[in-house]
Amino acid sequence: MRRSGTLRRVLRHLPLLAALCGAVLSVRPDRARVHAQEPQTSAPRAPRAAAPIDLTGYWVAVVTEEWLWRMTTPQKGDYTSIPLSDAGRQVANDWDPATDGSCKAYGAVGLMHMPTRLHITWDGDSVLKVESDAGAQTRLLRFDRSQAPGARSLQGHSTAEWEPIGGPSPPPVVRAGRGVAPVALAGGALKVATTNLSEGWLRKNGVAYSERTSVQEYWDRTTFPNGDTWLIVTAIVNDPVYLVSDYTTSMHFKREPDGAKWKPSACKPSGQAEGQSGGQSQGQTPGPTPGPALGQASGPTPRQGQTPAAAREQPQMVDLAGSWAMSNDEELLIRIDPGPELGNFTGFPLNAAGRQKALTWNSTIQALPEHQARPHPVSYSMRGPGPNFHMGEIIDPVSRRLIGYTITGLFENANRTIWLDGRPHPSEYAEHLWSGFSTGVWENGMLKVTTTHMKQMFLQRNGIPVSPYAVMTEFLIRHGTLLMLISQVDDPIYLEEPMVRTSTWRWNPGQREQPIGQVEIAEELPDLKLGDVPSYPLGTRHPEYAEANKLPFEATLGGKETLYPEYLEKLRQLRESAKGTSR
């Protein structure tokens, strides 16, 4: 009886079920027609319209790294930091100093190292034109890959593309928490590949690259809290003839409001091939006229140590976790032991107080028992020696969200923690640490790190000081297996303007951290009186570095004016004056 009752109820509802099915079936054709009418894909935008960042305008090189090799013509045979082959060393050793100023130093590989200004404009919708006032050169970065290269030239043939955040195959997005849908990341970078080069120079003293050279570049743009906007060009040079490995460097340029300081100066042609510049004759590139003032970064700048609400809520970010090996080929003798010479303050915008403190610094101070086991401060620990490090994730145990990164493997266990969870910076009266206190937010796929509460220590291991009032801002930018860092140290006590430097690393998944070194404290200065601190008296000069490199002593003392192209003229005058005095 129960089964027959159930059957009757089912049969009684069959007309309703049939009606519902008919209604569903009648809707499907309309839905199909609607989808058919929707556009499948939109037409690709021109490279100019699709640009994720604006690279146009006037930019000036700020020479805070490799000052000796960029602001002067190095001595013959000086190829420090460059991984030359035997053939490359032979060519460098055969260089004739009479050819100093040759256009060979202003090819696509060496040009970006020059103390120069750049003027970047669009030439149509698919070509970026990069003009330099040093050497009066023009590079054309073509987004259209169908154009065949012409004859070999100093600027070669450059193809460009906008690269999404993280690289051409973006690394996986890190854990963002439950119920968070993936979204497209804003921002990006310019990726440039250059081939079809004629032989040129990596440096002005004849350190050569061959016709078989290829160059890959990444062009990034950042804005620091003080409003300064920077262009960072990271270059990887591959030359199977004159180099034994890739040569990796990074240069940075600060945006200027107009072209008032633009002063083109032609180089010395050394033959028809070298006299070509991106298809234009050497010295015939017209200098751009000063343009209108460029817009500044819009929107208020958050107070130091605070995290904008929008950044705290951002669910997506590029994965930076993993092991990273130093890839820079810059200032190797400064960044590895034994470190920089006393009196070498080139590339640092020191003020009078910073210069005085640096001149009185005595390396013997490191033998004091209180100093022997000191780690490197956070203001320097990402510079060297090395460092090869590991970035680890800090995951919230409940939400499973990424709330921080750790950086381990730095010298003397100077490990760092970067908090991403929006916590505020401590009170100004809180303890200052070797690692400082760091928080991070994501800006267009770049990790922006703000560090305060740093101990008074150094920016370089020859006594160049940093005060406890300094604030450091860093941007960590990933391009596939390449990690780039640009840092700015703003110190109102010892610097005339913020100090900017760059570094690069390669992803190295097989890398293992070195064991922490055990330091045995010992009495190394038995004759030192209790309470004495090793130092040089006020008024001490350290001329050895200047004399060894044939530089005017004044030029080795640093300062803001020494970082810009205009200082080349003053440097020439100082040298002429020194020659007159010696006669």
Q: Is residue 16 part of a domain?
A: no
Q: Is residue 371 part of a domain?
A: yes
H or E element: which one contains 574? helix 567-582
- Residues 15 and 7: their CA atoms lie apart, in Å, by 14
| Of 43-52, 74-83, 241-250, 295-304, the least confident | 295-304
Which residue would you say has higher pLDDT here, 305 or 237?
A: 237
Q: How many domains does the chain have?
A: 2
- Whole-model pTM: value is 0.85
Average pLDDT over residues 453-473: 96
Per-residue confidence band for 181, with pLDDT thresholds at 50, 70 and 90: very low
Query: Can you tell me which residue has the tokens 């035997």?
Result: 86
Residues 6+ apart with CB under 8 A from 269: 103, 275, 282, 283
Residue 34 has pLDDT above 70, yes or no: no
Q: Is residue 47 part of a domain?
A: no
pLDDT in tens, 141-176: 999 999 889 999 999 999 999 998 887 766 666 555
Same domain, yes or no: 450 and 371: yes
Same domain, yes or no: 396 and 274: no
Q: Is residue 11 part of a domain?
A: no
Same domain, yes or no: 472 and 395: yes
Same domain, yes or no: 500 and 444: yes
Average pLDDT over residues 534-553: 95
Q: Is residue 523 part of a domain?
A: no
Residue 56 has pLDDT above 90, yes or no: yes
List the one residue out of 139, 138, 134, 186 whose CA is nearest residue 164.
186
pLDDT in tens, 510-533: 898 777 777 788 889 988 988 899
Same domain, yes or no: 348 and 245: no
Dihedral sign from CA coordinates of 21, 23, 29, 35: negative
Boundary (domain end) residue, out of 488, 507, 526: 507
What is the per-residue DSSP string for 216-279?
Answer: EEEEEEEE-TTS-EEEEEEEEEE-TTTBSS-EEEEEEEEEESSSTT---EE-B--STTTTEETT
Residue 33 has pLDDT above 50, yes or no: no
Q: Is residue 213 part of a domain?
A: yes
Same domain, yes or no: 265 and 321: no
pLDDT in tens, 120-145: 999 999 999 999 999 999 999 999 99
Same domain, yes or no: 418 and 360: yes
Per-residue confidence band for 582, with pLDDT thresholds at 50, 70 and 90: low
Instruction: Report yes or no: 392 and 408 within 8 Å, Cβ to Cβ.
Output: yes
Same domain, yes or no: 105 and 250: yes
Domain containing 349 equals 314-507
Average pLDDT over residues 370-376: 88
Per-residue confidence band for 180, with pLDDT thresholds at 50, 70 and 90: very low
Instruction: Report yes or no: 387 and 410 within 8 Å, Cβ to Cβ.
Output: yes
Same domain, yes or no: 322 and 231: no
Q: Is residue 520 part of a domain?
A: no
| H-assigned helices in 279-351 | 309-313, 332-335
Which residue would you say has higher pLDDT here, 575 or 307?
A: 575
